[in-house]
A and B are shown apart, each in its own frame.
Chain A
């Protein structure tokens, strides 16, 4: 099993550009999450999904969008990138009430 995979690993965007961060899991988990982690800080939940076709906002959803068309994939869309979105983004998956499995992260810089 590959677990949770994320692409790309690194990306530099210009202000106003858009991009999609990809996340996939092969553990058949219903729950998937997107977090951002700023330097020296804990993880903040951006969006989460409890199954294909169902998504909901977390603590910091502004400036982001998600979709969940399959159990395996949970892409995160950034529209009109801003410097405040410079961060490391982690995708995670789990079953209800159990541990979260995290991907390796995407380091995004917006200049």
Chain B
């Protein structure tokens, strides 16, 4: 069966450290994968997109990797700040099926 999973429901990280979030998928062939941030009571906001032929993308303190052999994407936030506390969603665009979202990881960056 098809599944998209994110490593943990919640992740606590100390301010200044690097947070690493994982997105794993099974039985999908994604053309690309996106990461979104969602704050309580709000809609998701786009952060990064990585295509199937790309290994890594960066944007300021954010980095995403995509390994189609392992069927995994890693999302890194370096030098975490309390303002980074939010839920992070991965979403893959699967050929012929449109977007599928993971359940999200709630990140708390503690001072």
Residue of B nearest to A50 (CB): B98
Interface size on A, residues (CB 8 A): 23
Binding site for A on B (CB under 8 A): 4, 9, 31-32, 34, 36, 41-46, 49, 89, 91, 93, 98-104
Q: Is B43 a contact of A58 with CB atoms below 8 Å?
A: no
B contact residues around A101 at 8 Å (CB): 46
Min Cβ gap A10→B in Å is 11
Binding site for B on A (CB under 8 A): 4, 33, 35, 40-45, 48, 58-59, 90, 92, 97-105
Q: Which of A35, A92, A100, A105 has the most CB of B within 10 A?
A: A100
Residue of A nearest to B104 (CB): A42
- Among A43, A90, A97, which residue has its beta carbon within 8 angstroms of that of B32? A97
Q: Is B99 a contact of A102 with CB atoms below 8 Å?
A: no
Q: Is A100 a contact of B99 with CB atoms below 8 Å?
A: yes
Min Cβ gap A71→B in Å is 19
Min Cβ gap A101→B in Å is 7
- Among A42, A44, A59, A105, which residue has its beta carbon within 8 angstroms of that of B43? A105
Q: How far is the CA of A100 from the CA of B45 in the complex (A)?
A: 8
